[in-house]
Amino acid sequence: MPIWKIADRSLSADRTLVMAILNVTPDSFSDGGCYVDPEKAVKRALELQAAGADVIDIGAQSTRPGYTAVSSEEEWARLEPVLTALAGRLSVPISVDTYLPEVAVRALDAGAQILNDVSGSLENGFLSIAAKSGAGLVITAPTADVSAYFDKALAAADAARLDRRQICLDIGIGFGKNREEDMAALRALPTLSEAFSEQLLMVGASRKRVTTHFAGDSPVDRRLGGTVAFHTLAQAAGARMIRVHDVEEAVQAARLTDVYVKGE
């Protein structure tokens, strides 16, 4: 099983890891506005940990379709009070969902241990930041040709002298793909998990359109069933981390699926 090196610790994928989503934005597609208040965000982070999350992924800039980008200063103004208030209060690592290098550096200085970059760029400085800091780095495939992108990403990491064990590869559901291509990426997981066996493979389909697209579509707050089904299929096909909003339900499903996959 792959080991993910992140700052002062390593996460083992001997069981499926659960990354919990915490958006401190007013406009994220699912929970925008719910945790803009730092006190609410801190309370939510502690709840997510108690529910069984292995990582808390905090985002302060929406990447939903049609989003309006905010400056690095505004993004940091949303993040900083939450990271400060959480210092020393979580036993699980904090990930920061950002594609701005200046925000990434500040977040690591404030205690974050993982950078979750959904930009798809391999030239925005994140590889070097992770190499210098020792932080974990999530690299997201922004294209339907996931395997070719992962090959390119790992070659770029080698050039930046970034230890491959610090890298988690996200197949990028909803990023640069239509719904049929999302499903093709899911079907490709057995091949991807064999080809990239040393990397942690992550799938994040939580509440995304693909989860109910083939059942006639449902509102964002009624996509739990499709989300659990998608992630269960992904686990069975080789994913070792799932990124979710609904942590308690995800943990229940993940543990059951782990037992099934292992044949225990």
Residue 146: which of 100, 203, 99 has the closest Cα?
A: 203
Residue 246: which of 218, 215, 222, 213 has the closest Cα?
A: 222
Dist. CA 61–CA 120, nearest whole Å = 16
Dist. CA 94–CA 101, nearest whole Å = 17
Tell me what pLDDT residue 8 has: 86
Q: pLDDT digit string (tens) for 190-238?
A: 999 999 999 999 999 999 999 999 999 999 889 999 999 999 999 999 9
Which member of 177, 207, 223, 243 is catalytic? Answer: 243
Q: Where are the domains of the chain?
A: 3-262
Mean pLDDT by 10 residues, the chain (264 residues): 92 96 75 76 96 96 71 93 94 96 97 96 97 98 98 98 98 96 98 96 96 93 96 97 98 97 83
Which member of 208, 209, 223, 240 is catalytic? Answer: 208
Dist. CA 251–CA 245, nearest whole Å = 11
Tell me what pLDDT residue 134 has: 98
Tell me what pLDDT residue 30 has: 56
Based on the residue annotation, tell me whether 243 is a catalytic residue of this protein.
yes
Q: pLDDT digit string (tens) for 159-172?
A: 999 999 999 999 99
pTM score, whole prediction: 0.94
Tell me what pLDDT residue 25 has: 85
Number of H helices, E strands in the chain: 10, 10
Tell me what pLDDT residue 33 has: 61
**Fold of the domain built from segment(s) 3-262:** TIM Barrel (3.20.20)
